[in-house]
Structure 1
Amino acid sequence: MSAESATYRKATRYTLIAVIALALIAIPVGLMVGGGAGLFAAEIGVAVTALSGLTTQVAMVMGHDREPHMMAAIVGGSWLVKMFIIVIAMIVLQDIDGFPKGLFAGFLLVGVVTTLVIDLWVIRKARIPYVEPRADDAQK
């Protein structure tokens, strides 16, 4: 496994752990603060966080070792699908009476910022070489 692959897998693993931790915190908080509607807001906030954070990371794991145009297609395509789903969800959620938008926004904000911090931290700590030595250079 290359250093690049290990880095993307590490980011995906940490993001998954963060999403589970967010769910374990957001669901009881949403239930206590907003009752059933707060529980629903927490669940949707965690789901959108997972979709937002994990989609691009999984696309990078799948596409980083392919040709550049294929990697761009995988990452760009996953981003478009993710944005389409999120926009449709936002349109549907705005029309639901009694939906606690503040709770949803709070959980979503915490989740998305957390996934971005994880991405930044993992990439910053990665030891990915800029160039890889050729096989014939190693024999000299």
Structure 2
Amino acid sequence: MTPEEAVYRQAIRLTIVVLAAIAVVGAAIAWVVVGPAGAVAALVGAVVAAIGAIPTQVSMLVGHRKPPHVMAGIVAFSWLGKMAVIIVALLVLGQVESFHRASFAATAMTGIVASLVVDVLTLRKARIPYVEPGP
């Protein structure tokens, strides 16, 4: 396993753990404050945050050994695909009357910000060389 793969795998694992914790805490708080509809909305918000974060990390793991133009294509299509899924989900959820938007938004935004923090902290601690040493 290369140092890059280790960093990407660590970021994916940590993101999953953090988003699962946010889902549990967000759903519990929403259940107490709003009721079952808020808890469901909070869980959906955590899923949307996961859809926003994890595909990019997986595409980096898959594409980091590929030529730059192939890696760029993998990351770009991953981004495009997850944005399409998120937009469709938001359009569908906007039509649901009993959907608690505040619980959804709070959990989704918390999850997205937390995943960005995980990415930054993981890459900041990574010890990946910029150049390969010569013979």
- The residue aligned with 2:69 is 69
Are 1:9 and 2:9 matched, yes or no? yes
- The residue aligned with 2:123 is 123
- The residue aligned with 2:43 is 43
* Offset from partner CA, 1:83-103 (integer Å, 9 cap, x none): 000011111111211321111
> What stretches of structure 2 of length at least 5 have no aligned partner?
none
Task: Return the offset for 1:13.
Answer: 0.9
Specify the code of the residue in structure 2 equivalent to 1:107: T
In structure 1, C-alpha distance between the alignment counterparts of 2:94 and 2:24, rounded to whole Å: 25
Structure 1 segments (4+ residues) deviating >4 Å:
none
Task: Return the offset for 1:19.
Answer: 1.2
Matches within 5 A, 1:1-140: 1-134=1-134, 137=135
Aligned length: 135
Classify the secondary structure of the residue corresponding to 2:35: helix
Specify the code of the residue in structure 1 equivalent to 2:117: V
In structure 2, C-alpha distance between the alignment counterparts of 1:24 and 1:95, rounded to whole Å: 25
Larger CA deviation: 8-17 vs 92-101: 92-101
